[in-house]
Amino acid sequence: MADHPNTSLPEDRGYLSEHGFRSWALTMDHKRIGVMYIWTTLGFFVVAGILALLLRLKLLVPGPALFSDHTYNVLFTMHGAMMIFLFIIPAIPSALGNFFIPLLIGCRDVAFPRLNLFSYWIFVAGIAVTVGTLAAPMDTGWTFYTPYSAQTSAAVTALSFGLFLIGMSSILTGLNFIVTIHTMRAPGMGWYRMPLFIWAMYATSVIQVLSTPVIGITFLLLAAERVFGIGFFDPAKGGDPLLFQHFFWFYSHPVVYVMILPAMGIVSEVVPVFARKPIFGYKAIAYSALAIALIGFLVWGHHMFVSGMSTVAGVIFSFLTFFVAVPTGMKIFNWIATLYKGSITFESPMLYALSFIFLFIIGGLTGLFLGALATDVHVHDTYFLVAHFHYTMMGGTVMGLFAGLHYWFPKMTGRMFNETWAKSAWWLVVSGFNVTFFPMFILGMQGMPRRYAEYPAKYQALNVVATVGSWFLALGVIIMFANFIKSLRNGPLAPDNPWRGLTLEWQTTSPPPEENFHEIPTVTDWPYGYGSRNEAPRE
Amino acid sequence: MSDNHEAPNGAPVSARLGIWAFLATELLLFGALFTAYAQFRITHAELFHQEHLKLNRVLGALNTLVLLTSSLTIAIGIAAIRRGLQKLLKVCLSLTLALACGFLFIKYLEWSHDFHMGWFPRTNLFFGLYFMMTGLHGLHVLAGMGVMIWLLYKAQRGSFSAEYNTPVEITGLYWHFVDLVWIYLFPLLYLIG
Amino acid sequence: MPYPTTLKASEVSLASHDVDAVFIFILAIAGFFFVLTQGLLIYFAIRYRKKKGVEEATPYITGNHALEVVWIVIPSLLLVAIFVYGLTVFIKMRTPLPNAAEIQVTASQFTWSFKYPDGRSVANELRLPLGQPVKLIMISRDVIHGFFIPAYRQKQDVLPGSYTYLWLLPKQAGTYDIYCSQYCGTGHSLMRATLIVMPQPQYQAWVAAELQKQQAGAQSPAERGKALFESAGGGGCHSIDGSPKVGPTLKGIFGSRVTLTTGQSVVADEEYLRESLEEPNEQVVQGFQPIMPSFRGSLKQDEIAALIAYMKTLK
């Protein structure tokens, strides 16, 4: 495949041939829907990223600066809510998942294409409502803790409704994927011949279907609290503010696995291709995804050790929390073992995948301090926590997403990006990321609380370091996106299989034709048959 | 598992799997409310006892009967169309719709009585839960009615047959679920103090 | 700030020592795995990079059961160890000594108020005698707050409608920060207080002096207003030195001309100040949020008069 001469003419743009608004807005092609999700989510990544830069800019000085404390609170709320609900949750599952699940399992579309389009548009409707609330912006933090969120004058009711719609989109997408993976796999593709990205997406979809309704009802109750005066979360009316936190985290903890599992799936695809080795411990990685999804439902209380929850509950949740670390650790060991005796090349997808592993190890290990009861009491709600989840979410998920974007860019667009620019962007992103977020661990250990518009002067030095780091990070991201956009227009035409991968998407043209495959492939082997056993290619 | 790979959209296996996944979602949606119910029942046992006496058990029981009957009619409808009996399907769908209307009408009587007595969602936790739970359930009844009107329209045009009746079947599953939720709501709210 | 620049447990309180010990224990385990995994990652990446001109011939290794078991079992055991250690210290942190003195803590946007057993109430300053265990019984008047003493490694959310507690055993005299750790609104980051730990004799002397001041009774209205301002936590939102906080400064407020959010400009006379205490969000000064709580009902008329008298002194 690798030496296959490039046959795609510039005129044959595969699924991209048709033009015009209607051809996109009313499409039922999972690839086009995936592309629309990519643009939407990356758009919000940029917006929320700019907000983050503003926040960091303000934190250059400890006292009042630039804008009021209230504005700061609004900005960190918007930064968090947009990053979580409009970018990171849909970014890999809905965007890359939509595009690549059918391609990786060898079918022509998802199980319910019409539902898929509907999911996209309620996502957009939810965004419209959410963005509409900017008229009276929220200042509750993305966690919306009651009773503050039930009292503040911000547009919490409208926002609840917007997020309810976004949640519905998430549920329907997950449902669609579950059914697709169950029923649409190419002939010969048994469960153990599925690419690990599919396993990851399957586990992700299960979480989406089972946890999102709880946040949906929680938002409804929050709205009802404000509109009808129901007092479920209001102690003055006999309600319990902790009930809100339980509901909130029952969703919001599993959902961190919605964010991270797909990224782990991408890493599991990229590492073997660029190490030219079979993935090490296929079944262990596959089952660890399911284990994470399962245990992930039982640990939400570790966000509440100091909330006033009973000590016994804290103990149980802490115990369970440590068991999420086991399957997570397994994945890391297996990826590293995959590198052993490989023949590794360092193209940009691999660089991002390796930095995923590097940064996620730091994110994971610092999680131990948060999972252990005694130390959590100290670092909870401090910058230590901020650093920890940025290492897992940005250092993890976003690096995974960047790996995926580079890895699949040739397939999605039919063009290659500039590797030199991609590498320079990578240097800036990874070093800028560490300079931005590593100091926050120390700040947190020294006791600087999160969500502080103004802070004691003794914390200034490290805050300055972090702010300067954020500029490098931003510059790296700008170069990366500029490279993508430039390559979209005039990058060299991509071969069908530029990375010599064995998964099914590489067997079709770049970009794929409207129904993905000219002929549905028959699968006879697992997709990681690299290495010397594999002299003759499959087929 | 890949047997219906080339099958068109809406093939039985995928549709059935899809509706079960959807019902799992619904279960957790209501599950959160049931959790809130459990918690407040424990912390406010006295309040729950006093307030539940205010609800009209007779109307509640009547509604249970109405909804159970509607589950039966739609089940008969599904059995009918599997044998290709289009006319019976239409009768059953109409009956189910009528029963659903009856359910909502009785619910309306109850709610207007409550409002008349000055019992609102904000009155206390019990009524908050009562209105949220029956309200959300009522919305599900409404949604089910919407789908059934659409089914009736399709049935009128002869779209369903012994070979193709997936939409009727999955709507039936959904309707049974709505029924099931009520079967829990009724004793929890009306009977157990 | 000894922490984390030196790997030595802080001795300022009982909990700080224990928590730091757990921290260092976890750090050792995490450090080991950090070096192991990152080391292997980087070593493999360099060692097995594709060399120019060399044909790639990678072995077909798909897994190893023994290794999987090893990296499931060993981490699991270490995780249990971390859990147990963290648990033991946590239980100790949650179990107050029986002889702990009780202090009531009331949180409100954006002030901490401490009420001592002898009935005195002080805002934003907590004084404790050295070596005496103390149990803080905490409640919030409005939203959720978080009581956090970084030097003590102690933190507890403060809820409206139910009590939570925290107990401390100070072991070194000094001044420490108290922060609000749970986001509570516009002034969250300024909701700070000070913990002052004094040796027993000094503490007793301080208590005696405070009580004497109280018994001296006959205060002028302005003095009474000052005391009220401090105990009600007015200083959390309003400065008396001219700098803006969440609310406008009170320095020179009396008789000054203020511009409202409506664009209107009014003189801050007795009536305006009274109304600002009772209906604070009716006439808000430009540039500020309408977030001040109303004191209607909680302040008596003569107390309001005392507060206004106090404000007149803030020139």
Instruction: Name the burial class of residue A346, with classes exposed (0-12), middle (13-18) and buried (19+) by CB atoms within 10 angstroms of its CB.
Output: middle
**Which residue among C29, C59, C179 sits closest to A532, beta carbon to beta carbon?**
C59
What is the CATH code of the structural domain delimited by A31-507?
1.20.210.10
pLDDT in the model for residue B9: 39
Q: Is residue B164 domain-resident?
A: yes
Rounded to an integer, the average pLDDT of A487-504 is 94
Instruction: State the virtual CA torsion across B182, B183, B185, B191 in degrees, nearest 10.
Output: 140
pLDDT in the model for residue C268: 83
Side-chain-facing half-sphere of C146: CA atoms under 13 Å: 31
Rounded to the nearest angstrom, the minimum Cα separation between A114 and chain B is: 9
Q: Is residue B185 domain-resident?
A: yes
Looking at the complex, does the CB of residue A73 fall below 8 Å from at least one CB of chain B? no
Looking at the complex, does the CB of residue B62 fall below 8 Å from at least one CB of chain A? no
- Which residues in chain A are contacts of C41 at CB distance < 8 A? 336, 339, 354, 357-358, 361
Query: What percentage of chain A exceeds 90 in pLDDT?
Result: 85
Q: How many domains are there within chain B?
A: 1
Q: Does an interface of 3+ CB pairs under 8 Å exist between C and A?
A: yes
Provide the pairing of β-strand C134-140 with C164-168: antiparallel
Rounded to an integer, the average pLDDT of A354-383 is 96
pLDDT in the model for residue A4: 45
Side-chain-facing half-sphere of A220: CA atoms under 13 Å: 21
The Cα C181–Cα B156 span in angstroms is: 63
CB contact under 8 A, A238 and B29: no
Domains and CATH numbers, chain C: 1-48+64-95 (1.10.287), 101-215 (2.60.40.420), 221-313 (1.10.760.10)
**What chain A residue is nearest to B4 in terms of C-alpha separation?**
A183
pLDDT in the model for residue B137: 97
Contact yes or no for C308/C225 (Cβ under 8 A): yes
CB contact under 8 A, C58 and A343: yes
Considering chain A, what is the average pLDDT of its residues? 93
Boundaries of domain holding B57: 11-191
Ranges under pLDDT 50 in chain B: 1-11
Please determine, for residue A5, whether its predicted confidence score (pLDDT) is greater than 70.
Answer: no
Contact yes or no for A479/A460 (Cβ under 8 A): no
Higher pLDDT, A156 or C31: C31
Please determine, for residue A393, whether its predicted confidence score (pLDDT) is greater than 80.
Answer: yes
Q: Is residue B5 domain-resident?
A: no
Rounded to the nearest angstrom, the minimum Cα separation between A275 and chain C is: 8
CB crowding A194-208: b at 16 or more within 10 Å, else e = bbbbbbbbbbbbbbb
Higher pLDDT, C50 or A475: A475
CATH number for the domain that contains residue B67: 1.20.120.80
**Which residue among C3, C83, C146 sits closest to A372, beta carbon to beta carbon?**
C83
Q: Is residue B2 domain-resident?
A: no
Rounded to the nearest angstrom, the minimum Cα separation between B85 and chain A is: 28
pLDDT in the model for residue A126: 95
Residues with Cβ < 8 Å from A255, sequence gap 6 or more? Answer: A89, A207, A208, A211, A212, A215
- Which residues in chain C are contacts of A70 at CB distance < 8 A? 186, 289
The Cα A156–Cα A175 span in angstroms is: 28
Ordered per-residue pLDDT tens for chain C, 315 residues? 345 556 788 899 999 999 999 999 999 999 999 999 999 999 999 999 998 877 778 899 999 999 999 999 999 999 999 999 999 999 999 999 999 999 999 999 999 999 998 888 899 999 999 999 999 999 999 999 999 999 999 999 999 989 999 999 999 999 999 999 999 999 999 999 999 999 999 999 999 988 887 777 656 777 778 877 877 777 777 888 877 777 888 888 888 888 888 778 888 887 788 788 877 877 888 878 777 777 776 777 777 877 887 887 887
Contact yes or no for C130/C117 (Cβ under 8 A): no
Chosen from A375, A441, A445, A538 to mutate, greatest number of chain C CBs within 10 A: A375
pLDDT in the model for residue C5: 55
Q: Is residue B6 domain-resident?
A: no
Rounded to an integer, the average pLDDT of A499-508 is 95
CB contact under 8 A, A213 and B25: yes
ipTM score of complex: 0.92
Tokens of A107: 């079918």
Please determine, for residue A98, whether its predicted confidence score (pLDDT) is greater than 70.
Answer: yes
Enumerate the domain spans of chain A. Answer: 31-507
Strand ranges inside C142-264, DSSP E: 145-149, 154-158, 164-168, 174-180, 192-198, 257-259
pLDDT in the model for residue A539: 34
Q: Tell me the pLDDT tens digit for each residue of A181-232.
A: 999 999 999 999 999 999 999 999 999 999 999 999 999 999 998 889 888 9
Q: Is residue B3 domain-resident?
A: no
Q: Does an interface of 3+ CB pairs under 8 Å exist between C and B?
A: no
Q: Is residue B4 domain-resident?
A: no
Question: Contact partners of A by the rule of 3+ C-beta pairs under 8 A?
Answer: B, C
Looking at the complex, does the CB of residue B21 fall below 8 Å from at least one CB of chain A? yes
- Which residues in chain B are contacts of A232 at CB distance < 8 A? 36, 40, 125, 128-129
The Cα A412–Cα A515 span in angstroms is: 14
Q: Is residue B1 domain-resident?
A: no
Q: pTM for this one?
A: 0.89
The Cα A169–Cα A93 span in angstroms is: 12
Cβ atoms within 10 Å, residue C67: 15
Rounded to the nearest angstrom, the minimum Cα separation between A143 and chain C is: 10
